[in-house]
Amino acid sequence: MTYVIAQPCVDIKDRACVTECPVDCIYEGARTLYINPAECVDCHACEPVCPVEAIFHEDDLPGHWAHYLAVNAEYFDEAASPSRARRDTAGDHPAVEALPPQSGPHKKEISFFTVRKEEAADADLWFPS
């Protein structure tokens, strides 16, 4: 079992998940981040800190992004693309490279300090913002 980074991360790359990952299994491509399925320990640390909700457990991956399970795995598969060293270059999987520029929240619109979903539920309601 592993976690998967899907399309909402493309052209955003917030990197909050990278700092939370205890085993450093999240790598950066040119336009998105990738989780190495061979290194992921299924700890759930990355999912709640993603501000664009791009990280899913492989069993919970929405149907329209189901191909991202293969995209993440193939990014690290030496046989699929032997000319590119997985961790040494900032290339992308061909499916990500083929995407047009993604619209939506831009990096400057995402808070630098992200709040976990669990912490947001415990917010002090006496001091509304």
The confidence score (pLDDT) of residue 59 equals: 93
Is the distance from CB of 82 to CB of 31 less than 8 angstroms? no
The confidence score (pLDDT) of residue 85 equals: 46
Q: How far apart are CA 73 and CA 82, in angstroms?
A: 14
The confidence score (pLDDT) of residue 83 equals: 44
Confidence band of 49 (pLDDT split at 50, 70, 90): very high
Mean pLDDT of 36-61: 93
Q: pLDDT by residue (tens digit) across 73-122?
A: 999 886 455 444 444 556 899 999 888 888 655 544 444 444 444 555 55
Q: Percent of the chain having pLDDT more than 70? A: 69
- C-alpha count within 13 angstroms, C-beta hemisphere, residue 41: 7
- The per-residue pLDDT of the chain, averaged, comes to 79
State pTM to two decimals.
0.73
- Indicate left, alpha or beta for 114 from its phi (over 0: left) and psi (-120 to 50: alpha): beta
For 5, other C-beta atoms within 10 Å of its C-beta total 26
Greater confidence (20 vs 114) lies with 20
